[in-house]
Structure 1
Amino acid sequence: MSEHITAAVVRSPGRLVREPDALAALLTAYHLCTEEEKGSPVTDATRLPPRYRAEIDDPRTAFADDTVLIAVEGGAAAGCLVVTAPAGGSAEIKRLWTDPARRGRGIASVLLREAVAHCADGGVATVRLSVWNWRTSAIALYERSGFRICASWDPRGDLVCMEHPVA
Structure 2
Amino acid sequence: MTDQREAVIVRWPGQAPSSEDGLAGLLAAYHLRTEAEKGAAVVDVDGLPERYRAEISDPRAAFVGDVVLVALSGGAAVGCVVVTAPVGRRSEIKRLWTDPNFRGRGIASGLLRAALAHAAESGVSSVRLSVWEWRAGAIALYERFGFVVTESWDGRDQLVCMECVG
TM-score, structure 2 as length reference: 0.94
Gaps of 5+ in 1: none
Look up the equivalent residue of 1:22 and give its one-letter code.
G
Q: Distance in 2 between matches of 1:43 and 1:17?
A: 30
Gaps of 5+ in 2: none
Cα distance, 1:75 vs structure 2: 2.4
Query: Which residue of structure 1 aligns with residue 160 of structure 2?
Result: 160
Q: Distance in 2 between matches of 1:16 and 1:86?
A: 23
Q: Distance in 2 between matches of 1:16 and 1:31?
A: 25
Query: Which residue of structure 1 aligns with residue 28 of structure 2?
Result: 28
Q: For this pair of structures, how many residues does the alignment match?
A: 163
Alignment map for 1:45-60 (pairs within 5 Å):
45-60=45-60
Q: Distance in 2 between matches of 1:64 and 1:91?
A: 14
Q: Distance in 2 between matches of 1:104 and 1:17?
A: 24
Distance 1:129 1:120, change over 3 A: same
Cα distance, 1:115 vs structure 2: 0.2
The answer on whether the counterparts of 1:92 and 1:129 sit within 8 Å (CA) in structure 2 is: yes
Aligned to 1:154, the other structure's residue is in SS state coil
Query: Which residue of structure 1 aligns with residue 108 of structure 2?
Result: 108
The answer on whether the counterparts of 2:83 and 2:115 sit within 8 Å (CA) in structure 1 is: yes
Q: Distance in 1 between matches of 2:16 and 2:50?
A: 21
Cα distance, 1:106 vs structure 2: 0.3
Q: Provide Cα deviations, 1:43-89, integer angstroms capped at 9, x if missing partner.
A: 00011000000000000100011100001123221100001110011
Distance 1:17 1:124, change over 3 A: farther
Q: Provide Cα deviations, 1:84-117, integer angstroms capped at 9, x if missing partner.
A: 1100110000000000000000000000000000
Aligned to 1:140, the other structure's residue is in SS state helix
Aligned to 1:96, the other structure's residue is in SS state strand
Provide the identity percentage.
Answer: 59
Look up the equivalent residue of 2:146 and give its one-letter code.
G
Cα distance, 1:136 vs structure 2: 0.5
Look up the equivalent residue of 2:106 and give its one-letter code.
G
Aligned-residue Cα RMSD (Å) equals 1.4
Alignment map for 1:17-166 (pairs within 5 Å):
18=17, 19-166=19-166
Runs of 4+ in 1 over 4 A off after TM superposition: none
Q: Provide Cα deviations, 1:112-155, integer angstroms capped at 9, x if missing partner.
A: 00000000000000011000000011000111111111111111
Look up the equivalent residue of 2:79 and give its one-letter code.
G
